[in-house]
Amino acid sequence: MGNLDFLERELEALEGVGRLRTLRWLESPMGGRVKIGGREVVLLCSNDYLGLSQALSLRDAALEAMEHWGAGAPASRSISGSLLIHRQLEEELARLKGAEAALLFSTGYMANIGLLTTLVGEGDLILSDQFNHASIVDGCRLSRAEVWVYSHRDMDHLEELLKKSQHRRRLIVTDGVFSMEGDIAPLPQLRELADRYGAVLMVDDAHATGVLGSEGRGTAEHFGLLGRVEVQMGTLGKALGLMGAFAAGQRALKDYLVNRCRTFMYTTAPPPPLVGMALEALRLMRTEGWRRERLWQNAHLLRKGLQALGFDTLGSETPIIPVLVGEDRLVMEFSRRLLERGVYVQGIRPPTVPEGSARLRLSVSAVHSRDELELALEAMGQVGRELGLI
């Protein structure tokens, strides 16, 4: 296959600068601990914040949905793939977000790309936070709108850009919880600026849904702004422990997406077992408040422990806790030595994060025990000292 020889050269180049990515195979289900290479290790790099991926009642819900609706719905939603169970889930998601309506998407990536390419176009302006997720970055690029990036959480910079804009439409887009920093978007100030300058506000609540707010309803609930965000994106693949995503907002938003959003229109409907599990996960999220309480207790314990050791956790204020390392090869060596000590944390390198800011990205779950977190802190301290980072 000589025409693809360039792939080998590209891979060698990535390896040469310490940025080659490989898959790590887990030999057991997700939980506070997993099996890797035949041994059990503490897992601190999943997004299963509430530990719902292994809840037994989700398996029962999948079987019940499959028995009634079948294993799949092999059609697009706009043809014959819209089942009543899809409508039921969308209604529950709309209630969760304090919105009139919601629409399911196959993934968060497809939701963000679909929303941005549908809501704005030539002659419009997107104002995007510097550290927004890659799916937002790609959606901006594909939208054909002009894109202005404002400094991370810098409302003065955002207002400067809004003042300059003479565009037909303006859309401000931000992560609710930033996936590599663990900090929270300043939603009240964003809302105020959007109102002052006539901009639409879109929030990617992937890492906030199920996590932020007294009931886990996300960034808007956290700030007392339920129903005040025009476009909310959330996922089923983080705190809800599954896969899939949704957009929530006014009824007109849903109807417009059904008619114009290509990443919704031209793909197969979510399978009924997944939808049934999502309904059950939402029920557990509402009724088992101990999960969110334990999650935040664990996040506080781990963050304070890392800071006491002398690590830089950036501006983390959520269960996502970065540990800044800086150099690409060094962060991967840190990760390797942690795994030797029974702790799996993945190193994060550019282009996921800016040059010179490679980091470990720790994320805790409600199912982690205190002993597991203390083991992780001990290993972090040992390796950090070995590598001269603390």
Read off the tokens for 232: 């909310």
Residue 302 — φ and ψ, nearest 5°? -70, -45
Which H or E run contains 118?
Answer: helix 108-119
Does the active-site annotation cover 133? no
Contacts of 227 by beta carbon, 8 Å cutoff, 6+ apart: 98, 99, 220
Instruction: Point out the catalytic residue in the list 86, 97, 238, 368.
Output: 238
Return the C-alpha torsion angle 55, 58, 63, 69, nearest 10: -170
Instruction: Point out the catalytic residue in the list 179, 335, 357, 363.
Output: 179
Read off the tokens for 69: 């609706």
Does the active-site annotation cover 238? yes
CB 225 within 8 A of CB 201: no
Return the C-alpha torsion angle 252, 177, 42, 324, nearest 10: 150
Candidates 336, 324, 329, 333; CA nearest to 362 is 324
Does the active-site annotation cover 179? yes
The one-letter amino acid at 111: A
Distance between CA atoms of 136 and 145, rounded to whole angstroms? 13
Instruction: Point out the catalytic residue in the list 86, 97, 207, 222.
Output: 207
Helix orientation angle between 56-69 and 272-287, rounded to the nearest 10 degrees: 140
Distance between CA atoms of 187 and 219, rounded to whole angstroms? 8
Distance between CA atoms of 308 and 312, rounded to whole angstroms? 10
Distance between CA atoms of 193 and 158, rounded to whole angstroms? 8
Parallel/antiparallel/unpaired status of strands 245-249 and 231-235: antiparallel
CB 101 within 8 A of CB 254: yes
The helix/strand/coil state of 148 is: strand
User: In the chain, what is the straight-line distance between the N-terminal and C-terminal CA atoms, in Å?
Assistant: 48
Contacts of 239 by beta carbon, 8 Å cutoff, 6+ apart: 47, 48, 49, 50, 52, 209, 210, 211, 216, 285
Helix orientation angle between 155-164 and 187-197, rounded to the nearest 10 degrees: 10
Please identify every residue annotated as catalytic.
179, 207, 238
